[in-house]
């Protein structure tokens, strides 16, 4: 499994999480600290689906989100 760093940040509540692939091929998930623990857990799982689905290697953004929301 990939190395994954998780950070809690105060973000606009419309943004549940952000996921970044770092230059060293690790990942950082930024979770919105303003959301409930349940919402943060759902956001974390959503980000993990992107990582496990190798979505950073794909080119069709529409299909990436459809796939990430279908599991």
Tell me the pLDDT tens digit for each residue of 3-42.
999 999 999 999 999 999 999 999 999 999 999 999 999 9
Interacting residues of 68 by C-beta distance below 8 A, sequence separation 6+: 46, 49, 50, 53, 55
The span from the CA of 71 to the CA of 53, in Å, is 11
Residue found under tokens 């759902």: 42
pTM: 0.80
């Amino acid at each position: 499994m990939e190395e994954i760093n998780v950070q809690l940040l105060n973000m606009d509540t419309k943004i549940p999480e952000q996921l970044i692939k770092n230059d060293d091929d690790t990942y950082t998930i930024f979770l919105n600290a303003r959301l409930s623990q349940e919402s943060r857990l759902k956001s974390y799982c959503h980000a993990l689906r992107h990582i496990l689905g190798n979505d950073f290697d794909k080119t069709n953004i529409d299909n990436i989100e459809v796939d990430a929301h279908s599991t």
